[in-house]
Amino acid sequence: MNIKEASEKTGVSSAAIRYYEKESLIPAIDRTPVGNRDIDDRIIRRIRFVTQM
């Protein structure tokens, strides 16, 4: 899923997700061939974990 879909699914802003990735709070997110983030369920679980801490 893309970052917008992940944002809607987790209730965390796209900017916050980018920040979490930049600060290594979540693992590096794979990219599609055109450069969009490709977020999987493993990353979604980690975003939820970070927001609960």
Q: pTM for the complete prediction?
A: 0.89
Q: Where are the domains positioned within the chain?
A: 3-52
Q: Domain 3-52: which topology?
A: Multidrug-efflux Transporter Regulator; Chain: A; Domain 2 (1.10.1660)
Per-residue pLDDT of the chain (53 residues; tens, 9 = 90+): 999 999 999 999 999 999 999 999 999 999 999 999 999 999 999 999 999 99
> What does the block give as tokens for 13?
């802003």
* pLDDT the model gives residue 27: 94
Angle at which helix 3-10 crosses helix 41-52, to 10 degrees, equals: 50
* pLDDT the model gives residue 21: 96
* pLDDT the model gives residue 32: 93
CA dist 50 → 6, 7, 11, 32, 43 (Å): 14, 14, 12, 24, 10
